[in-house]
């Protein structure tokens, strides 16, 4: 996704690209024939170096295995260490993309970038969040790339933050001289004296933990490398707990650190031994307990430690039970547990005394109700707030704990998104949440849970102007061949004719139970303002329709995700929202798998494909236990190492392994060199194979950000340029560039 500077050679209309595509050693060759479909040069051809992989008695030949650097861990930590031959090929790919796509669309990309920038309030800030005598907030300065974290004194009489301001972290200043800088997270100590914060300088989600004196702004000498961005303070404001990554970038250890002591003396309190489990830590809403949460995709295991005794050892919450997922929180003398025990597929809430956390003592507090998916619970001194999904729409339910009386907040649009901002305070009647829809910019409310009234604290500003009445939001359904009803959220401009002639962009994800929110995004508006219909497909593999919706799109049901997405495209045509052959599809990460698989299976449906950090080399990746995400992925995709049936099923849809000589639409594959989650070589190999096997289709573009990771560029304006690149490609595919 980077814009690596390269020498130009623009020769459209059938001529070959000049020597910019040549690489040392002959492993990247200048194309001899143009791409027939677009009349543009075909692109650099990677030399095939056959590499045999044998599993379950079957041998696959991977001709582009060599694009994986033997020291890939070192590359993630230090991109400059990339093998010279591989670097030459990636730079040739970037040069081709620049020459054939980026340069000819430069004016359009600049226009799109200015539109996107114009919709961004440059000096935006968050609503200050109170924590006792202070309130914390972030803001950007006009022209600044990175956030500033600051705090204000709270007026003890009014309860409003109107006192002295102190800047805690100035991102623009601290990012100076860094190729990549990202503030990954921060946590203030209970007494507000110390700020713990995490900075990523590589883009691979491996952070450095630092501690700052909040009064002086000076960092302490201790710097702890190789952390994930998680930290929990104990009430003493001296002891904290954090997590360390192992060599494979997996969270592996929970450590205890005491302010003022050498980090070399930090104490290991828990170590993850099973690579199939992902580990995280959190503090209960009451602040009383540290929770160590271990999970694979369908099972949980929790250990806990009372923070009032930070030197105690963590204890197991209850005996591990395969297939049972649970997440405890604490209130007064009880634990409240969100869980799926005893067939509660869409979850229930149980309660048990703190002295008896074992599951045999759990009692139903909020019973399971099929079709009402309880996503999360938030506890306050007198209230419980539940976020739910019912028929693919979010709900907020407030329960008065002393009386057990519930009430539900109401919203009127056809499709919308809600988020709870938990905040720092325990004894409060105020619930802060955000509301938005594809046409309604984000609105931040404080809701009085006693009076049942809401106050608008902030409405997202669009400096270039935005009238929600100019946009139409629809929620429609595509019916799958097995009768499943696939929700589609549609956004279009009021002036766009919905008569089967409009172009469209279709976005999907559909994995890990992650739901695609029907949210507002200024990023979509430049396309919608140009007459495109924007559609979010809520396909199986997410949880929009509850946990069964997820189960129907994973493991041996994964094909449902792909067929749902194809049906979504067909439904857009059938219902008059889009013209046949004028649909561009987009997916990111596992969404890249989605668009890659559907591109193989139904290429005739699409005018173009955008795959960002695309997970496309499925079998090889999920067969490599050394890669960061692989062992936890076996419960999501299957284990192709030990299970022949899983291997064969994955082989049937893996995008890289199913490339054939078809009339593929144009493809833009964006990736990043320091990505530890979806490694750069997956999209690089994908593009190489497409170009070799189906040379007359496409064309296929690969753009590699040589300085970033899974999240792309770290600066907000740099990120907008990457987004403008994808939008320009979509318009180019539709003949609108």
Beta carbons within 10 angstroms of residue 665's beta carbon: 23
- pLDDT over 90 (residue 41): no
Contact 476, 513 (CB under 8 A): no
Q: Once rounded to an integer, what is the mean pLDDT over residues 215-224? A: 96
3-state SS of 552-590 is CCCHHHCHHHHHHHHHHHHHHHHCCCCCCCCEEEEEECH
56 in catalytic set: no
String of DSSP letters for 328-377: EEEETTEEEEEE-GGG-TT-EEEEEETT--SGGG-EEEE---TTEEEEEE
Between 52 and 677, the more confident residue is 52
Contact 422, 428 (CB under 8 A): no
Alpha helix stretches (DSSP H) within 381-521:
none
**Angle (CA) 506 508 511, round 5°:** 170
In angstroms, the CA 377 to CA 230 distance is: 20
Confidence of residue 713 (pLDDT cuts 50, 70, 90): low
466 in catalytic set: no
Count the alpha carbons within 13 Å of 706 in the hemisphere toward its beta carbon: 17
Per annotation, catalytic residue among 346, 710, 714, 718 = 710
pLDDT over 90, % of the chain: 82
303 in catalytic set: no
Instruction: Please write the tens of the pLDDT for every residue from 566-585.
Output: 999 999 999 999 999 999 99
Mean pLDDT of the chain: 91
Helix then strand count (H, E) for the chain reads: 13, 41
Measured on CA atoms in the order 1, 660, 484, 512, is the torsion positive or negative?
A: negative
Please report the pLDDT score of residue 38 as a whole number: 61
Please report the pLDDT score of residue 716 as a whole number: 80
In angstroms, the CA 575 to CA 423 distance is: 43
Q: What does R_g of the chain's alpha carbons equal in angstroms?
A: 26
Q: Give the residue from 30, 60, 33, 59 showing the smallest Cα distance to 47.
A: 30
Please report the pLDDT score of residue 632 as a whole number: 76
Please report the pLDDT score of residue 27 as a whole number: 36
Domains, the chain, in order of start with CATH, read: 467-613+722-737 (3.40.50.1820)
Count the alpha carbons within 13 Å of 335 in the hemisphere toward its beta carbon: 28
Between 24 and 364, the more confident residue is 364
Burial of 385 (0-12, 13-18, 19+ CB in 10 A): buried
Confidence of residue 628 (pLDDT cuts 50, 70, 90): low
Contact 702, 64 (CB under 8 A): no
Instruction: Please write the tens of the pLDDT for every residue from 365-417.
Output: 999 999 999 999 999 999 999 999 998 999 999 999 999 999 999 999 999 99
Instruction: Please write the tens of the pLDDT for every residue from 449-497.
Output: 999 999 999 999 999 999 999 999 999 999 999 999 999 999 999 999 9
In angstroms, the CA 509 to CA 613 distance is: 13
- pLDDT over 90 (residue 559): yes
Q: Give the residue from 613, 584, 606, 608 showing the smallest Cα distance to 675.
A: 613
String of DSSP letters for 112-146: HHHHHHHTS-TT-BPPPEEETTEEEEEE--TT-SS
- pLDDT over 50 (residue 182): yes
Q: Once rounded to an integer, what is the mean pLDDT over residues 326-340? A: 98
Which residue(s) pair with 492 in the sheet? 472
In angstroms, the CA 30 to CA 85 distance is: 16
Per annotation, catalytic residue among 9, 350, 589, 654 = 589
- pLDDT over 80 (residue 675): no
**Angle (CA) 466 527 531, round 5°:** 90
- pLDDT over 80 (residue 707): no
Please report the pLDDT score of residue 15 as a whole number: 25
**Angle (CA) 40 45 49, round 5°:** 165
In angstroms, the CA 545 to CA 673 distance is: 36
Q: Once rounded to an integer, what is the mean pLDDT over residues 171-175? A: 94
Note the pTM of the prediction, 2 decimals: 0.87
Q: Give the residue from 157, 290, 148 showing the smallest Cα distance to 231.
A: 290
Confidence of residue 674 (pLDDT cuts 50, 70, 90): confident
In angstroms, the CA 197 to CA 212 distance is: 8
Helix, strand or coil, per DSSP, at residue 446: strand
Please report the pLDDT score of residue 527 as a whole number: 98
Residue owning tokens 């509850």: 546
Q: Give the residue from 298, 112, 181, 60 showing the smallest Cα distance to 726.
A: 112
What tokens does 74 get? Answer: 């070192």
Q: Once rounded to an integer, what is the mean pLDDT over residues 42-69? A: 95
What tokens does 452 get? Answer: 């049942």
Confidence of residue 717 (pLDDT cuts 50, 70, 90): confident
What DSSP character marks residue 102? Answer: I
Confidence of residue 634 (pLDDT cuts 50, 70, 90): confident
Confidence of residue 180 (pLDDT cuts 50, 70, 90): confident
Contact 502, 578 (CB under 8 A): yes
Per annotation, catalytic residue among 564, 675, 707, 718 = 675
- pLDDT over 50 (residue 535): yes
Q: Give the residue from 484, 636, 505, 510 showing the smallest Cα distance to 565.
A: 510
Please report the pLDDT score of residue 6 as a whole number: 24
Beta carbons within 10 angstroms of residue 72's beta carbon: 18
Please report the pLDDT score of residue 5 as a whole number: 26
Q: How far is CA 261 from the centre of its chain?
A: 36
In angstroms, the CA 586 to CA 564 distance is: 15
Measured on CA atoms in the order 237, 238, 243, 245, is the torsion positive or negative?
A: positive
Beta carbons within 10 angstroms of residue 115's beta carbon: 18
């Amino acid at each position: 996704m980077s814009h690596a500077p390269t020498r130009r050679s623009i020769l459209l209309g059938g001529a070959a690209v000049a020597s910019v595509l040549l690489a040392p050693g002959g492993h990247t060759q200048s194309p001899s024939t143009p791409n027939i479909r677009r009349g543009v040069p075909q692109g650099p051809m990677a030399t095939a170096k056959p590499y045999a992989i044998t599993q379950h008695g079957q041998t696959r030949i991977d001709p582009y295995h060599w694009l994986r650097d033997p020291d890939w861990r070192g590359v993630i930590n230090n991109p400059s260490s990339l093998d010279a031959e591989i670097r030459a090929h990636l730079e040739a790919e970037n040069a081709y993309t620049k020459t054939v796509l980026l340069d000819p669309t430069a004016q359009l990309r600049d226009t799109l970038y200015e539109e996107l920038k114009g919709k961004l309030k440059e000096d935006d800030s968050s609503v200050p969040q109170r924590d006792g005598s202070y309130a914390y907030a972030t803001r950007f300065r006009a022209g600044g790339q990175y956030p500033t974290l600051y705090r204000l004194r709270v007026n003890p009489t009014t309860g409003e933050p109107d006192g002295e301001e102190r800047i805690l972290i100035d991102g623009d200043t601290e990012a100076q001289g860094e190729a990549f800088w990202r503030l990954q997270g921060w946590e203030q100590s209970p007494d507000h004296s110390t700020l713990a914060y995490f900075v990523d300088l590589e883009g691979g989600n491996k952070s450095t933990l630092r501690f700052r004196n909040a009064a002086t702004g000076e960092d302490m000498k201790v710097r702890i490398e190789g952390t994930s961005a998680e930290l929990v303070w104990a009430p003493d404001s001296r002891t904290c707990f954090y997590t360390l990554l192992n060599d494979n970038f997996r969270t592996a250890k929970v450590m205890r650190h005491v302010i003022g002591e050498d980090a070399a003396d930090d104490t290991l309190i828990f170590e993850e031994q099973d690579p199939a489990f992902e580990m995280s830590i959190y503090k209960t809403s009451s602040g009383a307990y540290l929770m160590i949460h271990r999970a694979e995709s369908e099972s949980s295991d929790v250990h806990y430690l009372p923070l009032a005794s930070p030197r105690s050892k963590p204890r197991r919450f209850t005996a591990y039970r395969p297939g049972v997922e649970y997440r405890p929180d604490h209130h007064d003398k009880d634990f409240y547990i969100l869980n799926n025990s005893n067939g509660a597929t869409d979850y229930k809430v149980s309660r048990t005394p703190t002295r008896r956390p074992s599951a045999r003592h759990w009692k139903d507090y909020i019973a399971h109700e099929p079709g009402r998916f309880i996503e999360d619970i938030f506890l306050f001194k007198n209230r419980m707030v539940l976020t739910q999904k019912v028929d693919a729409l979010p709900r907020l339910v407030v329960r008065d704990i002393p009386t057990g009386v519930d009430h539900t907040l109401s919203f009127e649009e056809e499709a919308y998104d809600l988020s709870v901002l938990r905040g720092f305070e325990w004894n409060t009647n105020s619930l802060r949440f955000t509301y938005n829809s594809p046409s309604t910019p984000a609105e931040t409310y404080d809701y009085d849970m006693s009076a049942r009234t809401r106050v608008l604290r902030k409405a997202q500003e669009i400096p270039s102007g935005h009238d929600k009445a100019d946009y139409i939001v629809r929620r429609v359904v595509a019916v799958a061949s097995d009768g499943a009803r696939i929700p589609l959220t549609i956004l279009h401009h009021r002036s766009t004719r919905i008569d089967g002639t409009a172009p469209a962009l279709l976005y999907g994800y559909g994995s890990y139970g992650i739901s695609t929110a029907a949210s507002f995004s200024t990023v979509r508006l430049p396309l919608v303002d140009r007459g495109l219909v924007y559609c979010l497909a809520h396909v199986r593999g997410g949880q929009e329709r509850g946990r069964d919706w997820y189960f129907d799109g994973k493991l041996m049901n994964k094909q449902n995700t792909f067929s749902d997405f194809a049906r979504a495209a067909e439904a857009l045509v059938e219902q008059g929202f889009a013209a046949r052959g004028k649909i561009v599809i987009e997916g990111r990460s596992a969404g890249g798998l989605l668009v890659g698989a559907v591109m193989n299976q139904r290429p005739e449906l699409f005018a173009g494909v955008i795959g960002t950090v695309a997970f496309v080399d499925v079998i090889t990746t999920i067969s490599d236990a050394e890669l960061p995400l692989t062992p936890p992925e076996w419960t999501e995709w299957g284990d192709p190492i030990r299970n022949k049936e899983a291997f064969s099923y994955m082989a049937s849809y893996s995008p890289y392994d199913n490339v054939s000589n078809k009339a593929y639409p144009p493809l833009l594959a964006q990736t990043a060199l320091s990505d530890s989650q979806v490694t750069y070589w997956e999209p690089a190999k994908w593009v190489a194979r497409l170009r070799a096997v189906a040379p007359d289709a496409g064309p296929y573009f690969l753009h590699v950000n040589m300085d970033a990771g899974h999240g792309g560029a770290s600066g907000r304006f740099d990120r907008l340029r990457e987004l403008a690149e994808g939008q320009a490609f979509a318009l180019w595919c539709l003949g609108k560039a």
